[in-house]
Amino acid sequence: MDVLVIDDSQAVLAQMQRLLEQDQQAVTSIFRNPLLALDEARMCAFDLVLVDYNMPEMDGLTVIRELRGIEHYAQVPIVMITSEVSDAVRLAALDAGATDFLDKRIGRVELRVRLRNLVRLATAVRRLDEQASWLAGEVEKAVRTLREREAEIIFRLSLAVEYRDNDTGDHTWRVARYSQIMAEALGLDDDLCRRVYLAAPLHDVGKVAIPDGVLLKPGRLDAEEFALIRTHPAIGKRILGGSNCALIGLAAEIAESHHERWDGGGYPRGLSGEAIPLAARIVAVADVFDALTTERPYKAAMPLDEARACIEAESGRHFDPACVAAFLSGWDEIATVRSDASARLRDIPVRIEPWARVPSLPREVPVEAQAAPREDAAA
């Protein structure tokens, strides 16, 4: 138990210190100067404060107000030592934040009892504060666990979709990271950046309804097949839409609108400009860039600089200029993510820990590559 005593009387300080240390085994810090006492209080977390009312440097009311302005002392018992018994003084002290009063004129026996009760009160307050801190830590731990599980579930589900359309789940992770980098470059708040990162992997969830013969076809799609591929955004919206979860709602927006174009030439609704949800405009850039730089059975991977030039050339046509600017401003980080397969492992402890538990899934039966180009490289 740490007690701070502030009084301009050396005799009072000596008496309080003796009684507190001998009877209550408290560690006592005594100050005649309230300004020095306040400096000490800002550096040390006292469990109980006793402060005189009349002091030359600063009166006790001001000291109490100053202490209550320090975060630690919001609940700590602060007792005014005074011989003033007027209602005006007591009301002013209570208004300033005093917990109780200690009359300088009381007898030695009563003083011992009052100090004992004050120490017990301070001990109870400290234990309650410690319990509250422990509970807050447990709640924070539980929320962190839930958020990690939420992320892992989303990545595993998106990996199941990706498994039908690519050799591994790295595309899903890369699109998520590109989207997060751009969201941060756009200055979006931390919570929204996290939700964009978690929702982006579900952008192609509608592809679960596309037949393998179309989805995995190595050659050029005919008009009917391409029309079928173009239904996956609307299917994704039907799968994810209507949820009360904000994260799933964001994923539904992305799934439906990530193939819309800034100039209105996209699908499925032909939206343009800011009518396209911002998260979908972000993911559109991430998805196309990764499609351009990834080798598929029907095409070779494009060099990074060439793919960057393609994205920049489509600013104001396919893509939101602000999203392209964010993509370019985060280029170094994006290029690292794309070039270094181990980058995701290095990021795991801080940014993407749940992804560490999501495996890559190589195909058991590889699709034979063919030279014929395919129109839906970024579909």
How would you label 25-64 residue by residue, b for 16+ Cβ within 10 Å and e otherwise? ebebbbbbebeebbeebeeeebbbbbbbbebeebbbbebb
pLDDT, position 164: 66
Amino acid making up residue 299: K
CA-to-CA dists, residue 29 to 21, 180, 314, 375, angstroms: 10, 51, 70, 79
Residues 20 and 115 sit within 8 Å (Cβ to Cβ): yes
Determine the Cα–Cα distance for residues 351 and 334; give it in Å rounded to an integer: 15
Amino acid making up residue 129: D
pLDDT, position 169: 57
Instruction: Indicate the burial class of 5 (C-beta count within 10 angstroms; 0-12, 13-18, 19 or more).
Output: buried
pLDDT means per 10 residues, the chain with 379 residues, are: 89 87 85 92 90 88 92 88 81 88 79 80 84 88 82 75 63 90 96 92 89 80 89 93 90 96 96 96 96 81 94 96 97 88 43 45 42 47
pLDDT, position 341: 54
Residues 285 and 261 sit within 8 Å (Cβ to Cβ): no
pTM of the predicted structure, to 2 decimals? 0.61
Strand ranges, E, within the chain = 2-6, 27-31, 48-52, 78-82, 100-103
Q: What is the CA radius of gyration of the chain?
A: 33
User: Three-state DSSP class for 262?
Assistant: coil
Token output for 101: 């009063």
Residue 234 sits at the vertex; the CA angle it makes with 230 and 239, to the nearest 5 degrees, is 130
Q: How many CB atoms lie within 10 A of CB 339?
A: 10
pLDDT, position 20: 85
